[in-house]
C-alpha cells in the first residue's frame, strides 16, 4: 500500500489540545496531545479520537489549610471546534444513543494537519441521562465509565467510517480505555467475510491492525468491569464466550482485551516494559519510552537561544545535541529569564517574594500517595540543618488530587502544615490549579526538578523531560524514564539506586544528595552546575521528545 494511504487512528480517553480547553487531566492526555503534534511535524498520516467533556476537568482551589475544592470549568465548544454533520449510533442498555463529532485540527509548521474528533452525545435526540455521558472526564460510577468507553471505542470506529476513513491501517489504543474498539473491528471483519460467527481469522485480522500502549503498573489504572454490567450496557455478544478474547472469568479487563487483540504491545519506558512483561508473562511486551513535544515545552528564552545556535531544532530534535556548543553564559541568562517569570507568577498568586539567587526546587504532579510529594518534608529538622550548613533552598509545589482521592488530598494538607512550620526558615509555596500553563512555567523556571515516586510505580513520567530541555536537572528516584535519563552528576542526580531493597531510606538519600552534592555545586561551583544544565539539553532534550518517540512507533509498530 502506498504510504499516503496508510493512516493511523489514535484513540485516547483524554487529549490535551489547547491551554484553554480542559479535555485532559494529566500525563496521559498531555502525552496524547504531544504525540499528535509530533505526528503532524513528521507528516505521519494520523487521525485522533477522544470524547468532548463539556464540563472539563476541574479547576482546583485550596484554602489556608490546603483543603481542596473543585470547580467545574466551563468552556465554549464552538470557539475551538467545528461540528461535523455526520451522526452514528451506539446501542447502550438497548437504547440507540446518537453520537456526533467535533473537529479540531493540529497543524504543523509546514501546514500538515492531524485532525482530532471529539465525540459528543449531548444531542436533543438523546435522553437527559444519555446527553450527559460525554460531559465529564473520569467522573461518575463504573456504569458511566463503561458507557463512555463504549462511545469512545465502538462509537469512535463507527464515526471514523462515517467520516470516510475506510483505509485505516492501524488502530493505536493509548491505554486500555479504548479497547472496545476491537469488538467493532471484529464485527467489521466478520461482516466482510459474510460470516455469522467471529472466527480465528477475524481475530487474526484485527490483531494485525491493533497496537496497544499500556501506561501504568498501578492496578487501579487498569479498568475492569463485571460481565453482568458489560452485558447490561453492551447487550449479549457471542464474542464474550471466546476464551482467547475474553480471558478473565466473570470480568471484562480492558487491558487483557487490548493485549489479546494487538500484534504490538508496549510499555512507556524500558523499565516499565520489563515490569509490564512480569505482570503479563504470556504476552510479548516491548518498550517505547515517552517523550515531550519540544517546541511546546521550551520556554520563550530557550526557544530564542536554540533558534540562534541550532536553527532547525524544532523539527530535528536530535540536533539539540549541539547545545554543547552554546556559550555557557547564554544558557545561564536564558534560565534566569525563565526563573524570573516563574517567581513573578508566584508573587502574583501567593504574594510571596522568592529569591532569584536561592536554589529553587520544583515538585508538581497529581497528588496521590505513590508520588510521595511529602518525601522531601520527611524530617523538617534535618532540612533546616542542611540549609544552615550547605546553603538556602526554596520550594515550589503544585498538583491536584483526584476529587475522590482522599489520601491525595491529605498529602496537600500535610505540605501546608510544613509550610507553616518552616515559615521563617525555608520558603515554600503551593500553587493552585496545576495545568499545562503552570507546568510550562514551573518545569522551566526552577533550578532543580524533584521526583520521588515509589518504585516501580512511575511508568515513565514526562515533567522531568520538560525540565531537561529547559536546562533544569532532575533529582529523582531511579524509576520510569529517569533510569535511562540519569547519568549521575552529568544530567542530574539519582535518589537511591535502582537495585535497592524495599525499606531503604530514600528520604535519607535525598537529604544527602542535597547537602553534599547539589547545594555545594550550586553555590560554590556555578560553572559546574551550568555544565550539568547544558548536558540536560544536549543528552536528554535531544532524546526524550515525542519526535524520537514517533520515529520508534513508525519503525516498530505502525508501518512494518
**CB of 135 or CB of 365, closer to ligand PLP:** 365
What's the burial of 450, exposed, middle or buried (CB within 10 Å: 0-12/13-18/19+)? buried
Q: Cell triple for residue 501?
A: 531493597
Give the binding range for ligand PLP (CB under 6 A) out of 85-93, 127-135, 200-208, 435-443.
435-443
Give the binding range for ligand PLP (CB under 6 A) out of 132-140, 431-439, 496-504, 547-555.
431-439
CB 508 within 8 A of CB 261: no
Contact residue for ligand PLP among 66, 362, 439, 496 (CB under 6 A): 439
**CB of 56 or CB of 461, closer to ligand PLP:** 461
In what helix (H) or strand (E) does residue 305 lie, and over which residues does it extend? helix 300-309
Return the number of other C-beta atoms located less than 10 Å from residue 425's C-beta.
13
Closest by CA position to 444, among listed 468, 476, 419: 468
Q: Cell triple for residue 155?
A: 462509537
* Contacts of 234 by beta carbon, 8 Å cutoff, 6+ apart: 91, 92, 150, 180, 183
> What one-character-per-residue DSSP string does 453-491 give?
PPTT--S--SHHHHHHHTT--EEEES-TTHHHH--BTTT
CB 360 within 8 A of CB 447: yes
Q: What DSSP designation does 373 have? A: T
Contact residue for ligand PLP among 97, 418, 436, 494 (CB under 6 A): 436
d(CA 376, CA 450): 9
CB 364 within 8 A of CB 400: no
CB of 481 to ligand PLP, least distance (A): 9
462 touching ligand PLP, by CB under 6 A: yes
CB of 436 to ligand PLP, least distance (A): 5
Beta strand 113-120 with 46-51 is: parallel
**CB of 462 or CB of 542, closer to ligand PLP:** 462
CB of 199 to ligand PLP, least distance (A): 41
CB of 115 to ligand PLP, least distance (A): 24
**CB of 363 or CB of 416, closer to ligand PLP:** 363
What's the burial of 163, exposed, middle or buried (CB within 10 Å: 0-12/13-18/19+)? middle
How big is the CA angle at 543 (ends 301 and 394), to the nearest 5 degrees? 50
Give the binding range for ligand PLP (CB under 6 A) out of 45-53, 68-76, 208-216, 455-463.
455-463
**CB of 26 or CB of 541, closer to ligand PLP:** 26
Question: Please, what is the end-to-end C-alpha distance for the chain in angstroms?
Answer: 11
Q: Cell triple for residue 40?
A: 503532524
CB of 558 to ligand PLP, least distance (A): 24
CB of 336 to ligand PLP, least distance (A): 22
Give the binding range for ligand PLP (CB under 6 A) out of 306-314, 372-380, 458-466, 528-536.
458-466
Contact residue for ligand PLP among 365, 402, 427, 455 (CB under 6 A): 365
Q: What DSSP designation does 47 have? A: E
d(CA 425, CA 330): 32
**CB of 82 or CB of 218, closer to ligand PLP:** 218
434 touching ligand PLP, by CB under 6 A: yes
Q: Footprint of ligand PLP on residues 323-362 (CB under 6 A)?
A: none
- Residue at shortest CB range from ligand PLP: 439
Q: Footprint of ligand PLP on residues 230-269 (CB under 6 A)?
A: none
Q: Cell triple for residue 80?
A: 475551538
Give the binding range for ligand PLP (CB under 6 A) out of 129-137, 273-281, 407-415, 429-437.
429-437
CB of 299 to ligand PLP, least distance (A): 13
Closest by CA position to 57, among listed 152, 137, 141: 137
Return the number of other C-beta atoms located less than 10 Å from residue 197's C-beta.
10
**CB of 326 or CB of 415, closer to ligand PLP:** 415
**CB of 28 or CB of 259, closer to ligand PLP:** 28
Q: What DSSP designation does 515 have? A: I
CB of 30 to ligand PLP, least distance (A): 5
Contact residue for ligand PLP among 223, 435, 479, 506 (CB under 6 A): 435
CB of 462 to ligand PLP, least distance (A): 5
CB 397 within 8 A of CB 435: no
Q: Which residue has the cell 509548521?
A: 109
Cis-peptide, bond into residue 58, ω within 30° of zero: no
CB of 465 to ligand PLP, least distance (A): 8
Give the binding range for ligand PLP (CB under 6 A) out of 145-153, 193-201, 329-337, 430-438.
430-438
Please tell me the chain's helix, strand, coil percentages from 3-state DSSP, rounded to the nearest 5.
Answer: 45, 20, 35
**Stretch 1-40: interaction string toward ligand PLP, x if CB under 6 A:** -------------------------xx--x----------
291 touching ligand PLP, by CB under 6 A: no
Return the number of other C-beta atoms located less than 10 Å from residue 131's C-beta.
18
**CB of 462 or CB of 491, closer to ligand PLP:** 462
Count the site residues for ligand PLP by CB under 6 A.
Answer: 12
Summarize as ranges the residues that interact with ligand PLP (CB under 6 A): 26-27, 30, 365, 434-436, 439, 461-463, 466
Amino acid at each position: 500500500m502506498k504510504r499516503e494511504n496508510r493512516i493511523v487512528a489514535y484513540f485516547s480517553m483524554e487529549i490535551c489540545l489547547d491551554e484553554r480547553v480542559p479535555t485532559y487531566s494529566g500525563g496521559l492526555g498531555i502525552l496524547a496531545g504531544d504525540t499528535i503534534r509530533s505526528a503532524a511535524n513528521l507528516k505521519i498520516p494520523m487521525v485522533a479520537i477522544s470524547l468532548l467533556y463539556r464540563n472539563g476537568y476541574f479547576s482546583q482551589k485550596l484554602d489556608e489549610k490546603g483543603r481542596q475544592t473543585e470547580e467545574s470549568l466551563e468552556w465554549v465548544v464552538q470557539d475551538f471546534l467545528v461540528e461535523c454533520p455526520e451522526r452514528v449510533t451506539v446501542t447502550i442498555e438497548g437504547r440507540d444513543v446518537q453520537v456526533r463529532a467535533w473537529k479540531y485540527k493540529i497543524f504543523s509548521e509546514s501546514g500538515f494537519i492531524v485532525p482530532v474528533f471529539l465525540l459528543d452525545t449531548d444531542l436533543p435526540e438523546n435522553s437527559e441521562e444519555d446527553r450527559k455521558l460525554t460531559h465529564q472526564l473520569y467522573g461518575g460510577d463504573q456504569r458511566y465509565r463503561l458507557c463512555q468507553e463504549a462511545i469512545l471505542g465502538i462509537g469512535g470506529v463507527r464515526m471514523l467510517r462515517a467520516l470516510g476513513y475506510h483505509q485505516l491501517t492501524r488502530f493505536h489504543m493509548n491505554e486500555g480505555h479504548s479497547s472496545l474498539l476491537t469488538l467493532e473491528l471484529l464485527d467489521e471483519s466478520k461482516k466482510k467475510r459474510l460470516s455469522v460467527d467471529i472466527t480465528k481469522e477475524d481475530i487474526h485480522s484485527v490483531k494485525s491492525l491493533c497496537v496497544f500502549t499500556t501506561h501504568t503498573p498501578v492496578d487501579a489504572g487498569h479498568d475492569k468491569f463485571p460481565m453482568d454490567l458489560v452485558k447490561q450496557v453492551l447487550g449479549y455478544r457471542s464474542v464474550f464466550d471466546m476464551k482467547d478474547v475474553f480471558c478473565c472469568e466473570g470480568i471484562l479487563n480492558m487491558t487483557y482485551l487490548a493485549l489479546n487483540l494487538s500484534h504490538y504491545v508496549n510499555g512507556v519506558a524500558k523499565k516499565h516494559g520489563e515490569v509490564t512483561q512480569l505482570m503479563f508473562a504470556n504476552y510479548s511486551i516491548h518498550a517505547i519510552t515517552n517523550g515531550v513535544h519540544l517546541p511546546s515545552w521550551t520556554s520563550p528564552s530557550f526557544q530564542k537561544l536554540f533558534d540562534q545556535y541550532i536553527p532547525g531544532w524544532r523539527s530535528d530534535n536530535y540536533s539539540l545535541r549541539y547545545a554543547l556548543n552554546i556559550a555557557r553564559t547564554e544558557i545561564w541568562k536564558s534560565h534566569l529569564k525563565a526563573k524570573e517569570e516563574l517567581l513573578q507568577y508566584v508573587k502574583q498568586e501567593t504574594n510571596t517574594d522568592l529569591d532569584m539567587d536561592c536554589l529553587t526546587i520544583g515538585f508538581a504532579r497529581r497528588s496521590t500517595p505513590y508520588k510521595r510529594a511529602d518525601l522531601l518534608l520527611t524530617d523538617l529538622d534535618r532540612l533546616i540543618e542542611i540549609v544552615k550548613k550547605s546553603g538556602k533552598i526554596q520550594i515550589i509545589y503544585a498538583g491536584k488530587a483526584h476529587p475522590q482521592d482522599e489520601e491525595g488530598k491529605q498529602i496537600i494538607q500535610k505540605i501546608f502544615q510544613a509550610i507553616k512550620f518552616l515559615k521563617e526558615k525555608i520558603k515554600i509555596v503551593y500553587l493552585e490549579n496545576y495545568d499545562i500553563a503552570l507546568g510550562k512555567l514551573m518545569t522551566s523556571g526552577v533550578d532543580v526538578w524533584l521526583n520521588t515516586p515509589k518504585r516501580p510505580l512511575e511508568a515513565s513520567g514526562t515533567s522531568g523531560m520538560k525540565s531537561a530541555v529547559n536546562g533544569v536537572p532532575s533529582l529523582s528516584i531511579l524509576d520510569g524514564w529517569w533510569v535511562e535519563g540519569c547519568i549521575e552528576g552529568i544530567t542530574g542526580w539519582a535518589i537511591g539506586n535502582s537495585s535497592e531493597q524495599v525499606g531503604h531510606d530514600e528520604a535519607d538519600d535525598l537529604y544527602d544528595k542535597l547537602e553534599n552534592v547539589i547545594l555545594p555545586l550550586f553555590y560554590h561551583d556555578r560553572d559546574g552546575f551550568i555544565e550539568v544544565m547544558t548536558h540536560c539539553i544536549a543528552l536528554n532534550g535531544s532524546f526524550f521528545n515525542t519526535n524520537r518517540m514517533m520515529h520508534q512507533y513508525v519503525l516498530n509498530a505502525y508501518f512494518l
